[in-house]
Structure 1
Amino acid sequence: MARRLRFAALVLLAVLAACGRSADDAPSADEGSDHLIGHVHGLGINPADDMLYVAGHNGVFRVEDGTPIRVADRWQDTMAFTIVGPDTFLASGHPDLREDLPPHLGLIESTDAAESWKPLSLQGEADFHALEIVGERIYGYDATSGQLMTTKDRETWETVTTGEYVDLATRPSQPDRVLATTPTGAVYEIRLDGTQRRLADAPRVVLIDSTSQGRIVGVTAGGEVYSTSWLVDQWRAVGEVPGPPAALAATDGVWHVATDEAVLSSTDDGATWTDVLG
């Protein structure tokens, strides 16, 4: 089990619900605690070292030779995890209980690959469950208020609309709009002025991401993986992962999906999947 995730017994509802902290989440010295990720909230490849980072209920982990290694001995519940550059991460969530911080971290940033974090805005106010960056603009979904928000300076936020959303994706050529999924699997294109349209031909995906070369990737609550082009809204089924998805990250060369029991990788656009912690 040293190379396996010890996931909490959670299903897709855990993706949609806010993650609180309690005394039961306090750091443990039990054997193997360095690999205790908990429910996965985010995935990403760090361009600085091409390594996979996994953000979970119990901290941020770097995957080395198939083993998740906790970064900086921090048990921060790291949510809405997004890698935006070499060693540069954005996130939200809830603090390590050993730290004197408010329960909602707002927007936080690390410039040393999760070794340390600094607050940028909305500390004590926002609990972002999804963050997406396009150019200088950031879109964020705050689960505490139900607001889809945006900022360009990472300090001053404006509300785009309100609703219940799960995940976000953007098109680099259209920074004035964002794709958002709902708990029922509907996909909406939302503009900065709050107007929106449902993508009627989209499958019922709850997680969504995009690559720089023009692909949108989505995963349904049942684990079916779909893909479409930015220019042609014709979704096709490309593969399947076992179990409800918890997190998705798609790049031009590799896609990653976390489920309740594994972190999976595909290098053939979703056709086949391998457990990177197997």
Structure 2
Amino acid sequence: MGLALVGTSLVTLVLFVWFIVTKRQIQTLKNVKKQEDREKRLQLSKMLRYLKWGLSAAVLMVVTTGVLSIFGINADRAIYLEHIHGLGFSTDGKRVLIPAHDGLKAYEDGIWKIPEGEKHDYMGFSPVDNGFYSSGHPAVGSDMKNPFGIVKSTDEGKSLQTLALEGETDFHNMAVGYSSHVIYVMNPQPNSKMNTPGLYYSIDEGVTWTKSQMNGFGEEPTAMAVHPTEASVIAIGTPSAVYLSKDYGNTFEKLVSAGQATALFFNNHGELFIGGYQNKAYLQKMDMTSKKAENLLIPALTEDAVAYFAQNPSDEDQMSFATFKNDVYISNDQGLKWKKIADQGKSISEGNEEGK
């Protein structure tokens, strides 16, 4: 689209110069009594009409191409993903949604787009079956209090419903059950609903909160995921392991020790995806009944790892993940092949594929 805009602009410039030169030539032919001048003036006048039509068409093409460059099929070139804070799929499964430092970004059918709504700095982004929950900070000029506390959206960020702790706490470690909508947060400091730091959960949209005892857990949390339907089941990653609780976080058991756990995700079947780093980045899928993990293929990540992962709720073959260096990949065959759709935060048009 950029080359097309340059090309049409050059054509317009050439036609404009030709138009001006022709018009001046006509003005120099003042001797209308001289037949040679009359004939030449007639020819030039006819040419001037054609040039006028051509110039008008060229100007229209420049305007159209410019509009398409800004709003149309190549809008992704203007999109940069700064500080990725999560990743998930839209409720209909058609879009990958990524909250960045300057608002929500969407990837659909090979095209990056910016959804409607204020450009909030979402943190703890948690997609669910009818929208998403999040914490974070409001956009510049927003009327919302800073920090959000906990908010919910059912229209991909066009509007936000404040649930709890507005203006009090920003939750970076937060996870929500996809269907149950139970909310878990790692509270960093006391607030009006939580007397002490620690793990809390709410089953009523943040109206009331219960503190989890966290027996058997004593490390710094690096990632969190909640079972989609069983509100009592939560997994927490640490720098050395993944822990699982089946009683609302009151007691934990070590599920796996495989280096640092960097990303956790429960799919609709209750299978747990684990992104981690042990000498190199890895991605696993664990059956929660047998506790057996299957290694999934991912592109080679140099001094990087999976930071966020999601599986499409409408199409199990489609997966996506983002890395700590703001690379984003998508797969349509359960991870056999991956396509890179963002490189260090810079969006990539459809057709550029890297790695297996």
TM (normalized to structure 1)? Answer: 0.78
Counterpart of 2:110 in structure 1 is 66
Counterpart of 1:144 in structure 2 is 188
* 1:227 maps to 2:270: no
Offset, 1:52: 1.5
Counterpart of 2:210 in structure 1 is 158
Work out whether residues 102 and 123 of structure 1, in 8 Å CA contact, stay in contact via their aligned partners in 2: yes
Work out whether residues 148 and 165 of structure 2, in 8 Å CA contact, stay in contact via their aligned partners in 1: yes
Distance 1:96 1:142, change over 3 A: farther
Counterpart of 2:308 in structure 1 is 247
Question: Which of residues 327, 333, 336 in structure 2 aligns to 1:268?
Answer: 333
With CA pairs under 8 Å and 6+ residues apart, which has the higher RCO, 1 or 2? Answer: 1
* 1:52 maps to 2:96: yes
Give CA deviations for 1:195-239 in whole Å, capped at 9, x if unaligned. 111114556422110111242111114431111112111123222
* 1:218 maps to 2:279: no
Query: Structure 2: 5+ residue runs without aligned partners?
Result: 3-74, 190-196, 343-347, 349-356
Mapped to 2, the partners of 1:193 and 1:65 lie a distance apart of: 39
Distance 1:136 1:236, change over 3 A: closer
Query: Structure 1: 5+ residue runs without aligned partners?
Result: 3-30
Counterpart of 1:112 in structure 2 is 155
| Paired letter, 1:127 | D
Distance 1:186 1:156, change over 3 A: same
Mapped to 1, the partners of 2:77 and 2:176 lie a distance apart of: 30
Work out whether residues 34 and 69 of structure 1, in 8 Å CA contact, stay in contact via their aligned partners in 2: no
Mapped to 2, the partners of 1:164 and 1:124 lie a distance apart of: 25
Distance 1:275 1:120, change over 3 A: same
Work out whether residues 37 and 59 of structure 1, in 8 Å CA contact, stay in contact via their aligned partners in 2: no
Offset, 1:115: 1.0
Which deviates more from structure 2 when the two are superposed, residues 51-60 or residues 253-262?
253-262
Offset, 1:40: 1.0
Work out whether residues 93 and 106 of structure 1, in 8 Å CA contact, stay in contact via their aligned partners in 2: yes
Distance 1:173 1:35, change over 3 A: closer
Give the alignment's Cα RMSD to 1 decimal: 2.7
Report which of the two has the higher share of strand. 1
Counterpart of 1:180 in structure 2 is 236
Identity of aligned residues (%): 23
SS of equivalent to 1:164: coil
Which deviates more from structure 2 when the two are superposed, residues 256-265 or residues 167-176?
167-176
Work out whether residues 169 and 209 of structure 1, in 8 Å CA contact, stay in contact via their aligned partners in 2: yes
Offset, 1:127: 1.9
Offset, 1:172: 4.4
Work out whether residues 211 and 250 of structure 1, in 8 Å CA contact, stay in contact via their aligned partners in 2: yes
Distance 1:128 1:250, change over 3 A: farther
Which deviates more from structure 2 when the two are superposed, residues 211-220 or residues 133-142?
133-142
Mapped to 2, the partners of 1:80 and 1:113 lie a distance apart of: 15
Work out whether residues 246 and 257 of structure 1, in 8 Å CA contact, stay in contact via their aligned partners in 2: yes
Structure of higher CA gyration radius: 2
Work out whether residues 72 and 116 of structure 1, in 8 Å CA contact, stay in contact via their aligned partners in 2: no
Mapped to 2, the partners of 1:78 and 1:48 lie a distance apart of: 21
Aligned runs of 1:111-130 on 2, under 5 Å?
111-129=154-172, 130=174
SS of equivalent to 2:333: coil
Aligned pair count reads: 247
Question: Which of residues 170, 173, 177 in structure 1 aligns to 2:226?
Answer: 170
Distance 1:224 1:99, change over 3 A: same
Offset, 1:150: 0.9
